[in-house]
Amino acid sequence: MNRLSRFIIICLCIASLIVSGCARLRSTSIPPLTISASATPTSVATTPIELPTTTAVVANTDTTIQPVDSSPLFPGLDLILQADFPDAPAQARLYRLIDPPAWTLEEVNQISAGFMTHGQIYREKVPATKGEIFLAIEDTAQLYLPSSPRSLTYYAYTPALFPNTQCTPPCLNAKTVAEIEARLQVLKLLNFPYQIRQSEHRPWLIQFFQTLEGAPVLTDAEGGAQLEVQALNDGQLYWVSAHLTSFETLGSYPLVTARQAWQSLLTGDGKAGVVFREFREHPEPARRLHRRYNTGENQNFFGYAQVYEPIGGGDPLILLNQYPLTGNTQGLAQAAAGGRLIQAWGQVSGVKPSFQLTLDSWQVSVSPDQVVEGVIEQDGIGFHLATPEHKFALPTAIERDFLNIPVTVRGVVLEEAKTFLEWYLIQSGPLERVRAGGPGLRPLKLDGQQQPSAELPEHLEGAIGIPQVIVHAYSDGSSQVEVQFKFEAQGQSVAPVVRLDGVGIQGIEAYHNLPVRLWGRLVDGQSAPPLVNVERFEPLYPELSIEAWLGLIETVTLNDQQAWLITTPEDEQFVIESSIGVAQMERLPGPPGDPWIVEGVQIPGRMFGGYPVISDLQWFSGVGRNDLEDYLPHSARPRLVQEPGAAGARRTAVIEMIELVYLTPAALGERPSSNSKADLTQPIWRFRGRFVDGAYFEILIQALSPNYLSPP
């Protein structure tokens, strides 16, 4: 995934919206779906079903009677194999995703009728490039249907609290699953071959996996399926999510066996790409708390607004943090269309669930939206969010279930007598619910003609690259620092990365994300990434530092290539390095007229088309800012990764199942690229299981013959 894709993903995450609703439509002959109480799950006769036990499986701690393996790819990890190697075909097809057509109003009417007895259908006002987005709402139930990508999400909640209740597994019996399945088929949402499973690490979800050649397709970064369903303890349908895609075949290619993939993992021979993923959400689902507002009081609101036009005419519906808006909303619809954070003043009125927010005034927020991870604590003064660096005062009481546990808080930081975090959403658990590692998957090379990969030299003499510092913070309070070094690409499509160690790296944290020269010796070329013992280093540009630029972006043609040009308030202009040759205004994650903050470095003497170049690292919205006087670049801070256990401790991973699956690019958090071979859905050997502490993990190993994989 290139840097342009990465910063767009980051910005999209920051600007992500939580959609919501209100009121009414028509009667229907299809009653709303209600499912019965829980009982022990068994197989559904019409489709394959796997409902694994959700009781934590603890590996036999007497490892003397079990073979314990290890891999140079994952130092500190003990592997216990408790699964048989499955048979597999000698060959399998590759597939490419095909975008299905946009939703039609007829389809929207039919699907919404299956979820709601009465409701109102709206069409969201969005830029034409995003396709039509529909919303059907009834009281606190909502059905959201974006056309690009073609998908739907249904959920029911109150404006104040998402219950997200966890059933006590086993959650659903075979009759209940069959009822859900039948209704989804009536709604034509299961028009593909599929398997039914209960999620391993999110046992409150029933998953309908689309299959290709009998193998399930993994569609998102959390081990998701094409269609997923959640029910509450009382049997009411709470949440449905569907990602509707089609595939075209691109020919058949030879596979390695599961046993060969396992041996490749243990030896670390690099014949196939490998990804390790740990799922942190088990055994409890994330809970969401939306800010409660007292009715009748003048209050301050922050959040994102959505604008919907009712089908058949009428006044538009504007929502802010789940509240329908009335009062002074002039111009708000235009501001909301750009995904801008809104600050509003007004009063909440009505009775749950029919709340509404009457605005006295509003503005585009002059303070940026922030996502802060920490622990909420209570003392004699009130509530505050504690992070390793700060304590943020929280202006309202917090429900007990969210105290003294890791949480992720979204809101705006206001500097007053003490630092307030005007929050609008709290979610239990860390923002990063899936932790990934390993060398990664290798690009496909389908002609089977391989070029030998360039080997790292045994001695590095002034090698140029970028050090990246990662701090692993463990639950017992200990920490461990990891330093990776990304070599200067020098014409290569993928720059090699190594891990640094030795006394020579002392002080290198001050040059996180800055270019340095490195002297050292390769001591372990088989590990991933390879290990280099550093003798010494020196900054390539001693006076260089990570900076931030605020400005407007425009697309220009320079040296016969398109690029993005940023113009600052001081009328300085710079070319954005990652955009050269791929700049398109529609790829910006927000309106072209909005200001952006670009973080990066300006290498002395680096020019393009007569303009100095910013080697960009991260992008953030600059809406509401006139300058960067108090701004601290995020890119200058080492990455902090929360880990379970203690620093230096070994973990035991028990592999309970091996299966052949298909993996889409989205399953690794990647966006489609201009390289068609990078966007293929490919067969993968999936080794999945649990740590002895109950956390779920999977190891993904490319199943395609190494002849069709690019060199590492």
Better pLDDT: 652 or 334: 652
pLDDT confidence band for 539 (50 / 70 / 90): very high
For residues 154 and 115, what is the distance between their CA atoms, to the nearest angstrom?
8
Residue 632: CB atoms within 10 Å: 9
> pLDDT category, 443, cuts 50, 70, 90?
confident
pLDDT category, 100, cuts 50, 70, 90?
A: confident
Closest residue by Cα to residue 698 from 86, 280, 268, 171: 280
Beta strands in 205-333, from DSSP E residues, in sequence order: 205-212, 215-218, 227-231, 237-243, 246-254, 274-279, 288-290, 299-310, 317-320, 323-327
Top mean-pLDDT range of 62-71, 400-409, 661-670: 400-409
* Confidence band, pLDDT 50/70/90 cuts, at residue 586: low
Query: Does position 57 have pLDDT exceeding 50, yes or no?
Result: no
Q: Tell me the pLDDT tens digit for each residue of 274-283.
A: 989 888 765 5
Give the C-alpha separation, 712 to 710, whole Å. Answer: 6
> Quick one: CATH architecture of 547-629?
Beta Barrel (2.40)
Among residues 121, 244, 233, 221, the alpha carbon closest in space to that of 176 is found at 233
The predicted pLDDT at position 165 comes to: 46
What is 288-300+332-428's CATH number? 2.40.50
Q: How confident is the model at residue 198 (pLDDT cuts 50, 70, 90)?
A: confident
For residue 303, is pLDDT > 80?
Answer: yes
Mean per-residue pLDDT for 47-53?
36
pLDDT value at position 26? 26
Please state, in angstroms and as integers, the Cα–Cα distance from residue 126 to each residue in 136, 285, 538, 620, 644, following that order.
16, 32, 50, 21, 42
Give the H/E segment covering residue 427. strand 419-428
251: pLDDT strictly greater than 60: yes
Which three-class secondary structure state does DSSP give residue 13?
helix
Q: What pLDDT sits at residue 400?
A: 86
Cα–Cα dist 642/95, whole Å: 36
| Element holding 77 (H helix, E strand) | strand 77-81
Q: Provide the pLDDT for residue 238.
A: 77
Q: Could you give the CA distance from residue 146 to residue 617 in angstroms, rounded to a whole number?
A: 30
A 10 A CB-CB count for 245 gives: 19
Q: 552 with 593: CB under 8 angstroms? A: yes
DSSP secondary structure string, 675-704? -GGGGEEEEEEEEEEEETTS-EEEEEEE-B
Percentage with pLDDT > 90 across the chain: 33
Average pLDDT over residues 495-523: 91
pLDDT at 44 over 70: no
Element (H, E) at 658: strand 651-663
Burial class of residue 610 in the structure, from the number of CB atoms within 10 Å of its CB (0-12 exposed, 13-18 middle, 19+ buried): exposed
- Burial label for 537, CB within 10 Å (0-12, 13-18, 19+), is buried
Question: Which band of pLDDT confidence, cut at 50, 70 and 90, is reported for residue 60?
Answer: very low
**Contact, 608 vs 439, CB < 8 A?**
no
Radius of gyration of the chain (CA): 26
What the block records as the tokens of 56 is: 């934590």
DSSP-derived pairing of the beta strands 77-81 and 651-663: parallel
- Position 416 scores a pLDDT of 65
Q: What is d(CA 487, CA 371) in angstroms, rounded to the nearest whole number? A: 31
Q: How, if at all, do strands 651-663 and 607-608 pair?
A: unpaired
321: amino acid identity, one letter: N
Residues forming a β-bridge with 374: 407
Specify the range with the lowest mean pLDDT, choosing from 153-162, 203-212, 556-565: 153-162
The reply to whether domains 452-543+639-643 and 547-629 share a CATH topology is: yes
Pull the structure tokens for residue 426.
């709290």
Q: What is the mean pLDDT of residues 463-492?
A: 83
The pLDDT tens digits of the residues spanning 639-670 come to 877 777 788 788 899 999 999 999 988 777 65
SS3 content of the chain, % helix, strand, coil (to 5): 10, 45, 45
Higher-scoring residue by pLDDT: 439, 358 = 358
Assess whether pLDDT exceeds 60 at residue 593.
yes
pLDDT, average across residues 194-217: 88
Locate the domains of the chain by residue range.
3-49+98-249, 57-94+251-281+652-708, 288-300+332-428, 452-543+639-643, 547-629
- Which residue's structure tokens are 């290619």? 253
Check pLDDT > 90 for residue 680: no
pLDDT score recorded for residue 81: 95
Confidence of residue 541 (pLDDT cuts 50, 70, 90): very high
- Helix (H), strand (E) at residue 370: strand 370-378
Domain 452-543+639-643: which topology?
A: OB fold (Dihydrolipoamide Acetyltransferase, E2P) (2.40.50)
Confidence of residue 236 (pLDDT cuts 50, 70, 90): low
* pLDDT score of 576: 93
Please say if the pLDDT value at position 122 is more than 60: yes
Can you tell me whether residue 126 is helix, strand or coil? coil
What's the mean pLDDT in 552-564? 90
Higher pLDDT, 672 or 628: 628
Read off the pLDDT band of 55 (50, 70, 90). very low
Asked whether 533 and 503 are in contact (CB, 8 A), the reply is: no
Compare 397 and 157 and report the one with higher pLDDT.
Answer: 397
Q: Return mean pLDDT, the chain.
A: 79
Weakest-pLDDT range from 6-10, 152-156, 163-167: 6-10
Is residue 152 within 8 Å of residue 240, measured between CB atoms?
A: yes
Q: What per-residue confidence (pLDDT) applies to 369? A: 84
Q: Which amino acid is at 701?
A: I
Q: Which of 14-18, 77-81, 420-424, 599-603 has the lowest mean pLDDT?
A: 14-18
At 693, phi and psi to the nearest 5?
A: -85, 5
